[in-house]
Each structure stands twice: as C-alpha cells, then as structure tokens.
C-alpha cells in the first residue's frame, strides 16, 4: 500500500492547470492570474493632499503660526484654479490636488477660521511649529507609475488584487477558470437529510458535505444526486460526472459485495492510478484518470464513512483542485507540534487523528479531540488540524513532537 505522501505525488502529477480564459475582474475572486498586468496611470495621478486642511507655503509658518487669506476651496473631484502665494491658503479636502505655489498642507484640526469682516476676505489662523515642505502631501506616482508591472502570472486574486486591477484600469484579465467538481455519493442505504432513516438506512451527509467542500475551494460544484449500488445506474451517473473536470464519488470502494465503484470505473475505461493508501481514516481511497476528448478528468472514489471522505478530500482532492486552478502549493499546510496530552495509539497504519492546535509555553501544542472513528463527524467539528500518529502500537507521551496537517 502506498503512503499518503506518495499518493499525493501521484495525484498532483496528473493534475495540470486548466488553460487560462478572459475573465471579468468582478468574477475573478479566488482565481489565479495568468498574465502580467501593467498600470495605465500614475497613482496618485497628481500631487495630492492626504488630509482635510489648508495648502500653504511652508515658509509662512516658520514662526509657528500664521494668519492667511483663504483664496479657494477644492473638494475631491475638483481641481484648483488659483496659485497660492505667500500669505495665502487654499482649503483642500482629502485627495484633492495640491494647487501650484503651495508646498505643504496644514491639517484642519490645526486651523481656526477667523471672523470675516463684512465684505472682507476669509482668513484662517493656522498653527504648526514644524511645518516642512512636503508635509501631508503624497506626490504623483508615489505608489505606482504608468507602465509599471503590478501583478504577474501565478498571483492569487484576493479582494486586494481586485481593487488593484480596478485602480490600473482593468475590467478583464486572463485567469485560470474555476474547475467543475461533480459529486456522486453512492449506497442503497442513503436517504435524503429530510427523512428519518428507517432500519438499515443512513442520511446522505457526504453529498452536501463534499459539494460544500468543493465550493469552499473555489470550484464549481455539480450535484449528481445519489447513486444506488447498481452497475447500470452507476455507469450512467459516472458517465455524466465525467463531463466535469473532477468527479468525486463516495462509498462503494471497499471490499464489500456491493462495492462496485472500482469495477464500473474500470469498465468505463477510467485508468486506475492507485487503490488504497496507508492511512486511517481513508484506506480504501481510489484514484484514477479518464481521458475524455483529449482532457484528463480526475476521478476520486472516497470511502463512504463521512470522516474518511472529508479527510481524503482535504489530503488529496483539495490539493488536486488547487493545482487545476494554477496554484503551486502542495497539499495542506504542515507543521509539527508537541503533544498536549499523552495518547495511546494502536494500529498498523498511520492515523490522522482530528486535533486542535493551541498555543503552549514552548510554541504550539496539539491536542487530539475525543473521536470515535471514521463515522464520527461530530468529533471532527471540534478539530482544526489532523495529528499524525505513526503506524504501530505505542504510547505517545505529552511533549513528544508529531506531524500536524492544518484543516481549513
């Protein structure tokens, strides 16, 4: 049986990024950029005030205060029309362009408008002993210059990049599109969550859970409904699922009499890359590739137990979806941490036990949560990580250092 690391290598070796497409920036959140983006403007486009205040000649305040004539008011969006000479000031709102002649801005908090004599000019008393040229001014092109490359291929587009793309005038970009992920839970015992399960039945948690997990990774989920343990029905639904970039099945991959999934996949010409991985929970995991009209479709047969399904999704399916999306990271974030409490492990496979990371006196500690195995989703709710206990019967003392995979 192959190890988790080897299985992940084999999955990633078959997951090639999808070709980039022109995408509206408004729809590009979470996608990976596939081009170099340059700015078509200087930012800021002019010398601008970074505060509400008065544009002045700094030398006027050499004595610590000055009474100046207010010659104009410039709100954001307007442009100054008058030159500021010594003895004068222009009232500016944040972001307004600096008028010619002025070389500093005194903030409004340090200004006092003086009573205006009838028909007289408006005057203001400004205070500030340290007013230097350039104060409260952001010079044209300080943050970026026209023609400058601001983002490159491979960059993940978060909210900040969406804002930056808009700042440099882009409404469309070349980006790697979302992949489609079809989800097909299988099993005669499955009933919809609205039903109360009768004897022998169980609610279908995996379907909605895996659709949600796919959406969470930025893929476009495709709901194939539920497949009965019947070769003809499975064949029909799997064929439908192969229209997607990734097909995720759950159940039917172990050694039971109704575990038909590997057989049906083989009949449909899906190439098996591996079946079974040395881990707990998740040993029966099946992975293969189908070539459909020249495109490699990734097919995962996840074990039916919900925790096994979700753990396999995090360890293998999620990294594959991220790779299709053009992201370079290799699987879940890994770290090591000291065990917070003594733990007895038994088993001939490494166990990925749901756990919580918490700060301790010597860095992060990991605490296994109470968990009753691969059917116990409630245990997993408390976890934000998986702690890996190596194969073998052994007592791990508090303080021993173990590998930890972070869940998202």
Which of the choices Mg ion, ligand AMP, none does residue 41 contact, using the CB cut-off of 5 to 8 A by kind? none
Q: Per-residue contact track with Mg ion, 288 to 307, x per CB under 5 A?
A: ----------------x---
CA 381 to chain centre: 21
The dihedral through the CA atoms of 143, 145, 146, 148 has a sign that is negative
Q: Which residues contact 99 (CB under 8 A, 6 or more apart)?
A: 55, 72, 74, 80, 82, 83, 84, 90, 92
Query: What does the longest C-alpha to C-alpha distance in the chain come to?
Result: 100
Q: Counting contacts by CB under 5 A, is residue 207 touching Mg ion?
A: no
Q: Binding pattern to ligand AMP, positions 156-195, x when CB under 6 A?
A: -----------------------------x-x-xx-----
Pairing of strands 385-389, 401-406: antiparallel
From Mg ion, ligand AMP, none, interface partner of 204 (C-beta below 5 to 8 A by class): ligand AMP
The residue whose Cβ lies closest to ligand AMP is 304
Residue 259's Cβ-side half-sphere holds a number of Cα atoms within 13 Å equal to 17
331 contacts Mg ion (rule: CB under 5 A):
no
Q: Which stretch binds ligand AMP (CB under 6 A): 67-75, 249-257, 288-296, 310-318?
A: 249-257
| Paired tokens of 305 | 């137990």
Q: Does 241 bind ligand AMP (CB under 6 A)?
A: no
Out of Mg ion, ligand AMP, none, which partner does residue 136 contact, by CB within 5 to 8 A per kind?
none
Can residue 319 be called a binding residue for ligand AMP (CB under 6 A)? no
Interface of this chain with ligand AMP, residues 336 to 365, rule: CB under 6 A: none
Our CB check for ligand AMP shows the closer of 207 and 326 to be: 207
What does DSSP assign to residue 227?
A: B
Nearest to 258 by CA among 210, 308, 200, 182: 200
Position 264 contacts ligand AMP (CB under 6 A): no
The yes or no reply on residue 187 touching Mg ion (CB under 5 A) is: yes
Token pair listed for 64:
């610590």
In the region spanning residues 26 to 55, those forming contacts with Mg ion, defined by CB under 5 A, are none
206 contact, one of ligand AMP, Mg ion, none, CB 5-8 Å limit per kind: ligand AMP
State yes or no: residue 262 binds Mg ion (CB under 5 A). Answer: no
First to last CA, the chain: 27
Binding of residue 227 to ligand AMP (CB under 6 A) = no
Burial state string for 319-346 with b = 16 or more CB within 10 A and e = fewer than 16: bbbbbbbbbeeebbeeeebbbbeebebe
Number of residues that bind ligand AMP (CB under 6 A): 18
Degrees to nearest 5, angle at CA 254 with 251 and 257: 95
Stretch that binds ligand AMP, among 2-10, 148-156, 248-256, 315-323 (CB under 6 A): 248-256
Per-residue contact string for residues 204-223; x = within reach of ligand AMP by CB under 6 A: xxxx----------------
- Rounded Cα distance between 54 and 129, Å, is 15
List C-alpha distances in Å: 354 to 308, 337, 344, 363, 378: 11, 14, 14, 19, 11
- Residue closer to ligand AMP, measured from CB, 104 or 210: 210
251 near Mg ion (CB under 5 A)? yes
Q: How many CB atoms lie within 10 A of CB 155?
A: 19
The residue ranges that bind ligand AMP (CB under 6 A) are: 185, 187, 189-190, 202, 204-207, 250-252, 254, 256, 303-306
The residue ranges that bind Mg ion (CB under 5 A) are: 187, 251-252, 304
């Amino acid at each position: 049986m192959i190890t988790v690391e080897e299985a992940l290598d084999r999955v990633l070796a078959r997951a090639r990024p999808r070709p980039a497409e022109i995408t509206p920036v408004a729809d590009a959140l979470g996608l990976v950029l596939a081009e170099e983006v340059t700015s078509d403007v200087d930012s800021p486009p002019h010398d601008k005030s970074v505060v509400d205040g008065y544009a002045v000649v700094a030398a006027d305040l050499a004595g610590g205060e000055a009474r100046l004539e207010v010659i104009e008011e410039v709100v954001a969006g307007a442009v100054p029309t008058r030159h500021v000479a010594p003895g004068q000031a222009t009232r500016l709102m944040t972001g307004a362009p600096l008028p010619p002649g002025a070389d500093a801005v005194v903030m409004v908090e340090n200004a006092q408008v003086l009573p205006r004599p009838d028909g007289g000019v408006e005057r203001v008393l400004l205070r500030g002993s340290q007013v230097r040229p350039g104060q409260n001014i952001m010079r044209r092109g300080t943050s970026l210059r026209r023609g400058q490359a601001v983002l490159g291929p491979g960059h993940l587009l978060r909210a900040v990049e969406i804002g930056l793309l808009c700042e440099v005038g882009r409404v469309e970009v070349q980006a790697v599109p979302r992949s489609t992920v079809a989800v097909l839970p299988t099993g005669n015992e499955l009933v919809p969550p609205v039903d109360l399960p009768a004897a022998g039945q169980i609610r279908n948690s995996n379907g909605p859970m895996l659709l949600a997990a796919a959406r969470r990774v930025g893929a476009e989920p495709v709901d194939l409904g539920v497949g009965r343990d019947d070769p003809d029905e499975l064949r029909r639904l799997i064929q439908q699922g192969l229209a997607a970039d990734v097909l995720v099945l759950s159940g039917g991959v172990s050694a039971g009499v109704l575990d038909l999934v590997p057989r049906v996949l083989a009949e449909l010409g899906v190439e098996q890359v591996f079946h079974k991985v040395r881990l707990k929970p998740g040993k029966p995991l099946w992975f293969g590739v189908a070539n459909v009209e020249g495109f490699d479709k990734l097919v995962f047969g996840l074990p039916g137990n919900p925790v096994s399904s979700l753990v396999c999704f995090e360890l293998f399916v999620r990294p594959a979806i991220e790779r299709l999306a053009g992201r370079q990271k290799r699987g879940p974030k890994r770290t090591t941490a000291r065990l917070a409490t003594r733990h007895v492990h038994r088993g001939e496979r490494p166990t990925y036990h749901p756990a919580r990371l918490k700060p301790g006196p010597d860095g992060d500690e990991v605490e296994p949560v109470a968990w009753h195995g691969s059917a116990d989703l409630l245990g997993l709710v408390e976890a934000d990580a998986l702690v890996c206990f190596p194969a073998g019967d052994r007592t791990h003392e508090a303080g021993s250092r173990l590998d930890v995979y972070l869940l998202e």
